[in-house]
Structure formats: C-alpha cells, structure tokens
C-alpha cells in the first residue's frame, strides 16, 4: 500500500488553489482539491467578478445622462435590481462549473468537503474520509472583518451578503475607505441609492498616492456621495425596516442598509494548523511563509489571501503556479511581488503601479513628478463636470519611471500595459520617445514634458 493517497492535497478551490492543482496535475502529480462551499473562491463567487458586473450596471446612468449632449433623446430609464442579480447569479454559476470542469479535466479530483489537518500529512474531511498527502497546499483565502463588536453589529452586512440583497436599498451607509467600500459606494450611487461613506482615517484610499486620494474623493463627492472621515460607526439601532448608525463624532445617520468593508482577515481558523505545527505570521495574522510559499512545516505550503501578503487574485494565481513549478516541475520559481499593477473600480476608476510620490521620496535621493489633470474629451459635449488625473513618478537620478497613477475612464486597462513598461525599467526618455496616439486620454502619458515638481532628499546628518 502506498504511503500517501495523493501527492498534493489542496485546501480551497479558489483561483490560487485551482491554478496550483491544474499545473501540478499537468506535471503528473496525483492531486485532490477540497472546497467546502463553491469552486471559484472569493474572486469568482463573492468578489471581483460579480462586483465588476455590478460596476458595469452602475455606469449606465452616466451614459444615459451623457447621451443628450451627443444628440440622443433617451426615454426616462428604469432599473430592475432583481434582473441584475439573477443575471449575475447565472454568470457566476457558469464560471463555477467551468472552474470545476477545468480542474477535473487536468486530472485532479474535486472533493466537496471541508478538510482539516490532523498532522502534517493527514487530512480529515467533513465526509468522514481521511486522506494521507505528501504535500499540502493551503489556499483558503480571506473573509470580511467587521472589527470591534459594537452594539448592533448583528444588523450590519458585509461584502458577502451585499451580492444577494433582495432589493436595492434606497439609502445605504458604508463604513470603510478602501477598495471594497468605495467600489460599492459608487455601485449603489450609480444605481440610484443615497450613499454615505464613513471612514476613520483622514482621507479615503489609505496607502495610495495622495493626489489619487484627493482626486477620487472630489469626483465621488461631485456625484452626490457623502464622505465622512475621521469618525467610525459606534452603534447601530434597528427600527422596523430602517437603521440608525450612531457615529463616534456624535452624529447619527438613517439608512435602509448598513455595510462594513473595513478589511479582511485570513481564513486560518479551524484548519488544524496547530495539529501540524504550521506557524502564523504575528505581524499580519496570516500563515507565515518564505519566498517560495513554504510554511514552517516542510511539506506544507500556503498561497494567496490566507498568507495576507498581497491580497489580489492574480497574485494568488502566480503564487499557486510558482508553487507547482517548484515542487512538482523541478524548477525553482520565486514570485516577484514588486511593481504589481492594481485597480480600484470606483467611479472614477483608479489604476496604479509602482511607487507613490511619498514612497519614492522616502526611498530615492531625487524624485521628479509629472502630473496632468484635464477634462476628458467626452465631457466637452456631455457637459459632465469631471476631470482625469495622470501622474508619473520618476527617479531623478536614473530617469526610470518608478510609479504611474491614473484616475478616470479606462485607468485599469491603461495601467495593465504601463505595468509592463515599469517592470522593464522604462525611463521617462522612453516614454517621451513614444509617439502619442491621438485623440486619446492616454497620450498624456507620453506628452508630459516638464516636471510639475522636483524633490531632493536632504542628506542625513
């Protein structure tokens, strides 16, 4: 009898776990994948994909408004929430089936069960089955974090429940200032809800470039979204079908729904990690791993949001692929977590890659800033009061472009391509030598000639 039932046991059927399973199976490994809920994980089932579909839906109100300036007469539009949710659910079901099918086609086996570690090689399934695995990959992702248990926390929804609301809330309060909070604030505002954002910090999008933070806030406020910073929700009361949120600044706000999007925590609980001796990173609460995603136990690895490194789907996929290449493909592959492009699908959209201005000034001796804020061409006829922002952060000593930040339509698409240039260490001279494509907004990236600011760091005394 073989010592192990499988070469690789993957806990979690999200994007990272699925990629690892398929690549490992392609190398000839015997692979099992355990998923207790739905294949596809956070991104496919309750994250990026359904959210982006809802973002598309919320954009139409602007298109209807803008049409008049271009000669179109559009009858008063109406929106049906139930239709959007039903169509969204249908697409998610299709993707879930595709994920399952692709894993099985690769030769891996899908187990619809929860798996818990009994020791470094033994897993107990919720079906009662026990499996002995040579290698174990933990890819259980993360979950919404509601923060401190305030009075009335049971009335608050998270980004999990928001996709399944029976009806569109007329008024919604959203606590949080990051990706999820702002994306849903703009979704609901675009679909016609009255939206209030509450955030504890001094401004939204902590960690992003300061110009980006200011620009996004200004544009969201133009669209009627109320943004309250420097305060938190201290208590939530329910009165029949509405809620009253009491804020730390003494004010209160009535709404039909209260949503918290104040962060996510790694799914590390009740996995049996202590049985196997898998260590937790004390700095972030995720599973501690090295550069090859190996945990404190030699045969157990972890990837994606459960490690709480960089919580983005493409990162989890790249980590899963690298794991399979390293362990089963006989080639050492280490993921480079530098210069990862990212987007916030707020309205306006944000795309960014590389260093912020402040990060560059802390790290580099000389920093040159190139920045343009302008009215997009479409707005000249539509009459919409909106502006785009484009910003390049350049190492003044080497001329290398070390950061790109865009706010406006198409920002994410542009930054995906800019990510290649930054990764290739393109210089400002390379940008300048690139012919502009006219008329586009993106041509600003190669036509900004004069720096808007230059910073030289004072020598340490």
Question: Among 106, 2, 34, which Cα is nearest to 271's?
Answer: 34
Question: Among 167, 146, 153, which Cα is nearest to 263's?
Answer: 146
Look up tokens 């569109």; give the residue: 168
Query: Per DSSP, which regions of 177-251 are E strands?
Result: 194-199, 226-229, 233-239, 242-247
CB count within 10 Å of CB 72 equals: 10
- Measured between alpha carbons, how far is 406 from 54 in angstroms, rounded to an integer? 22
- What are the tokens at 60? 């139409």
Task: Using CB atoms within 10 Å of the CB of residue 6, give its burial: 0 to 12 exposed, 13 to 18 middle, 19+ buried.
Answer: buried
Query: Is 241 an active-site residue?
Result: no
Question: Among 253, 191, 262, 211, which Cα is nearest to 228's?
Answer: 253
Question: How many angstroms separate the Cα of 420 from the Cα of each of 246, 318, 351, 352, 388?
Answer: 46, 16, 14, 12, 22
Question: Among 264, 243, 262, 263, which Cα is nearest to 253's?
Answer: 243
Candidates 308, 365, 438, 455; catalytic one: 438
Provide the annotated active-site residues: 438
């Amino acid at each position: 009898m073989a010592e192990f039932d499988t070469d690789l046991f993957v806990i979690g059927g999200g994007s990272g776990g699925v990629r690892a399973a398929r690549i490992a199976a392609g190398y000839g490994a015997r692979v099992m994948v355990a998923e207790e809920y739905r294949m596809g994980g956070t991104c496919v089932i309750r994250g990026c994909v359904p959210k982006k579909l809802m973002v598309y839906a919320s954009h139409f109100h602007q298109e209807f408004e803008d049409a008049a300036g271009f000669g179109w007469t559009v009858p008063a539009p109406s929106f049906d929430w139930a239709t959007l949710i039903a169509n969204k659910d249908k697409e998610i079901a299709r993707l879930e089936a595709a994920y399952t099918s692709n894993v099985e086609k690769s030769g891996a086996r899908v187990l619809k069960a929860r798996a818990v570690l009994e020791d470094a090689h033994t897993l107990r399934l919720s079906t009662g089955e026990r499996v002995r695995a040579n290698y174990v990959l933990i890819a259980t992702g993360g979950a919404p974090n509601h923060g401190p248990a305030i009075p009335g926390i049971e009335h608050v929804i998270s980004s999990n429940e928001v996709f399944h609301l029976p009806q569109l809330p007329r008024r919604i309060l959203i606590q949080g200032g990051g990706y999820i909070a702002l994306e849903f604030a703009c979704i609901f505002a675009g679909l016609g809800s009255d939206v209030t954002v509450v955030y504890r910090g001094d401004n939204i999008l902590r960690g992003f470039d300061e110009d980006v933070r200011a620009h996004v806030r200004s544009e969201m406020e133009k669209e009627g979204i109320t943004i309250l910073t420097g305060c938190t929700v201290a208590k939530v009361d329910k009165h029949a079908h509405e809620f009253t949120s009491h804020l730390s600044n003494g004010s209160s706000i009535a709404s039909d729904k209260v949503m918290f999007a104040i962060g996510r925590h790694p799914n590390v609980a009740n996995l049996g990690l202590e049985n196997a001796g898998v260590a937790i990173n004390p700095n972030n609460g995720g599973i501690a791993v090295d550069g090859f995603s190996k945990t404190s136990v030699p045969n157990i690895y972890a990837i994606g949001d459960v490690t709480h490194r960089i919580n983005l789907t493409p990162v989890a996929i790249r980590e899963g692929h690298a794991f399979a290449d390293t362990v089963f493909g006989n080639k050492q592959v280490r993921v480079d977590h530098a210069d990862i492009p990212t987007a916030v699908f707020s309205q306006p959209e944000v795309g960014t890659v590389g260093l912020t201005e402040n990060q560059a000034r802390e790290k580099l001796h000389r920093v040159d800033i190139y920045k343009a804020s302008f009215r997009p061409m479409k707005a000249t006829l539509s009459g919409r009061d909106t502006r785009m922002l484009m910003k390049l952060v350049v190492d003044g000593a080497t001329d290398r472009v070390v950061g790109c930040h865009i706010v406006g339509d198409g920002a994410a698409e542009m930054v995906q391509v800019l990510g290649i240039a930054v990764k290739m260490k393109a210089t400002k001279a390379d940008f300048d030598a690139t012919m502009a494509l006219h008329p586009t907004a993106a041509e600003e990236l190669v036509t900004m000639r004069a720096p808007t600011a230059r910073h030289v760091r004072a020598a340490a005394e």
